[in-house]
Amino acid sequence: MGSLVGKLLARGMLAGLLAGLFAFGVAYVAGEPSVDASIAVEEAASAHEHTAAHTHGGAGPAEAGTEKTDEEEIVSRDLQSTAGLATGVLVYGVALGGITSLAFCFVLGRAGRFGPKATATLVAATAFTTVTLVPFLKYPATPPAVGNPDTIGQRTTLYFLMILLSVLLGIAAVVAGRRLAPRLGNWNATVVAGAGFVAATVLACVFLPDNGDAVQPDFPAAVLWEFRVASLGVQATLWVVFALAFGLLAERLLASVGTRTPAPAPAA
């Protein structure tokens, strides 16, 4: 059994790598233009403040002559948007694939009479909802260098707290659905558990603090919208491709070793 789990883990990481390639394509085509536009807005605002400071006597002629007009880049923007972006997305995809394949091993045969493809889709959809979609609804992604840098630690903490709450609520919904199934039936139990998850998520979104300074008030709304749509699209692409690729690989592996999906245990 341990050997089979290791093989599924390897296939999960391979599927994550493939998903990362597709996600990188979406990020480069749909996401990078909005990042460039965001950087241009920031540079224009910085240049305006610099000009205003000199106009109102913010620096003397001697000081102005010694100031650096352009900050030296450690990593060029071209490298960030190509090799840097690809490396980050691919590593994330491989790690995601490995973790999700382990979750697949645990869920297979315990979520009902689902085959490998359906189980992979179910696990990926659940992970996308709890880890990506729900936190995104409360704390949507923002372009780089847009928010207040002094609050980045607080904003990061709140985001990961939302992920933790979403995952815990998702687990609670699954447990509640399984316990209600003998009395209500599978369909009704699923509806009740799903409604409870939505209600609890809404309450969490209401009571958790907002990132009020995550976006500057004068930042172009169109650029922000494009960046957020692209960010969500990258995540959706990653999960969809992973579910399709890993479901196919897992099904072929299990068929080759003659492993059948175990039937769920009868309800007490």
Report mean pLDDT in 10-residue bins for the chain, 268 residues. Answer: 82 94 92 81 63 54 42 66 85 93 85 81 92 90 70 81 92 87 84 91 88 69 86 94 94 78 43
> How far is CA 268 from each of CA 133, 192, 193, 257, 263, rounded to the nearest angstrom?
35, 20, 19, 32, 15
Which residue matches tokens 């609520």? 169
- The confidence score (pLDDT) of residue 245 equals 94
- The confidence score (pLDDT) of residue 55 equals 59
d(CA 9, CA 205): 34
- The confidence score (pLDDT) of residue 262 equals 46
- The confidence score (pLDDT) of residue 213 equals 60
d(CA 204, CA 53): 43
Q: What is the DSSP string of 194-257?
A: HHHHHHHHHHHHHHSPP-TTSS-TTS-HHHHHHHHHHHHHHHHHHHHHHHHHHHHHHHHHHHHT
Which residue matches tokens 């904003």? 155
Answer for the pair 211, 147: CB distance below 8 angstroms, yes or no. yes
Write out the two tokens for 266: 């009868």
Cα-to-chain-centroid distance, residue 78: 24
Write out the two tokens for 106: 């645990």
Each domain of the chain, given as residue ranges in start order, spans: 1-41+79-146+217-268, 150-214
Answer for the pair 193, 173: CB distance below 8 angstroms, yes or no. yes
